[in-house]
Structure 1
Amino acid sequence: MNVYITNGTYDFLKTIQAKHAAETIVLMEGTEGAALVHETNGKSVFESPRRYEVVDGAGIIEERGYVVLNNIPVTDEGRPLFEHRFKNRAGAIENEPGFISMRVLRPLDSDTYVIFAQWEDVKAFENWKTSDAFNHAHKKRGTEEGLDKRPNIFSGPSYLTAYTIPIEE
């Protein structure tokens, strides 16, 4: 499975989404503009997307809710260990109230992995960040076993990008 992401103005991206209504394409709005996410087994309908391969995932991407993209730059030599950690995750996020979907996205054209997490709303995401499931998933952070303590794993600092999926009237 592949995921493609492109950015632009809301109105322009809306026309692309409408043109490809049969595809799984979700339009999202953020503070710095809009984005389209296209999940498919085929090629992208976008001209110049950021391209990813799905390493792991849960749930179905829906046209509703709140989406957080955790952008994590990983070195070439760090990729196997980074992916191993996600492939062997506990899977507890799926049972959290308000969870809709998630994807671990391997970059095909850059070094930045994206962890796509979709929630019912901002409150569900914030509640997850203070949950036992979150603490369990991140329990090794800051310890000798944590990826953050391993040299040569990350090529830069991670950052979050958040979006809402507007409800069309």
Structure 2
Amino acid sequence: MYIYLLKDIDKHYINQATFKMSNSDQSMYLLESEKELKIDVFTEEEKVYEVIDGTFTIKSDCFAVFNNIPVTIDGRSQFEQRFQKRARKIEDEPGFLAIRVCRPLNSDTYVVLTCWEKESDFKNWQTSTSYQHAHKKRGTSTGIDKQQPQIFPRPSFVETYTISSIKLN
């Protein structure tokens, strides 16, 4: 499965799961496809990802959190192994809708995309025991963020969006 984050969308993608994402700074389109699409030109902010892990279906009218995590080329396998071994407790959280762990195909920044019924559900998860369990090694000598050689060339950052459905004419 592939995810495309695009500034503009063409009607010939109408058979794909396509959503409009917006926040106070920008609007983009999220396109999810079972197969890799032939998109020739990307702007700097447009991205394409291969989904390496995911559960449930992305739906419109939800709150989406994009955890953007830059990873060195040498650190990719270690980073991906970490997510393949994740506890999968987030799936049981109230308001949780979907997750996608996305390998970048045209950048060095992975995306962990989670979708929630509403923003308060995401914030509640951040104070939950499942969140604490998922991040219990962060900042410790056994945490991936402290191991050497360092696999994170820059700090991660979070973006949030409201996802809505679109109709392509």
- When normalised by structure 2's length, the TM-score is 0.88
Matches of 1:52 and 1:80, distance apart in 2:
16
Q: Which amino acid aligns with 1:32?
A: D
Consecutive unaligned residues of structure 2, counting only runs of 5 or more, are: none
Q: 1:125 maps to which residue?
A: 122
Q: 2:157 maps to which residue?
A: 159
Q: CA deviation at 1:25?
A: 0.8
Q: CA deviation at 1:45?
A: 7.0
Say which of 8, 15, 22 aligns to 1:29: 22
Partners of 2:19 and 2:164 within 8 A in 1: no
Quickly say closer, same or farther: Cα 1:163–1:54, change in 2 above 3 A.
same
Matches of 1:97 and 1:134, distance apart in 2:
13
- Tell me the number of residue pairs that the alignment of Structure 1 and Structure 2 aligns: 161
Partners of 1:99 and 1:124 within 8 A in 2: yes
- When normalised by structure 1's length, the TM-score is 0.88
Consecutive unaligned residues of structure 1, counting only runs of 5 or more, are: 8-12
Q: Which amino acid aligns with 1:24?
A: A
Secondary structure, counterpart of 1:3 in structure 2: strand
1:14-163 superposed matches below 5 A: 16=9, 20-44=13-37, 47-48=41-42, 49-151=46-148, 152-163=150-161
Identity %: 42
Matches of 1:55 and 1:166, distance apart in 2:
24
Q: CA deviation at 1:144?
A: 1.1
Matches of 2:132 and 2:156, distance apart in 1:
18
Secondary structure, counterpart of 2:18 in structure 1: strand
Partners of 2:98 and 2:115 within 8 A in 1: yes
Secondary structure, counterpart of 1:53 in structure 2: strand
Matches of 1:136 and 1:79, distance apart in 2:
23
Secondary structure, counterpart of 1:148 in structure 2: coil
Partners of 2:19 and 2:165 within 8 A in 1: no
Matches of 1:109 and 1:20, distance apart in 2:
20
Matches of 1:45 and 1:22, distance apart in 2:
14
Matches of 2:101 and 2:165, distance apart in 1:
25
Q: Which amino acid aligns with 2:105?
A: L
Q: Which runs of 4+ in 1 moved over 6 A?
A: none
Q: Which amino acid aligns with 1:30?
A: N
The two structures, once aligned, show a CA RMSD in angstroms of 1.7
Q: Which amino acid aligns with 1:111?
A: D
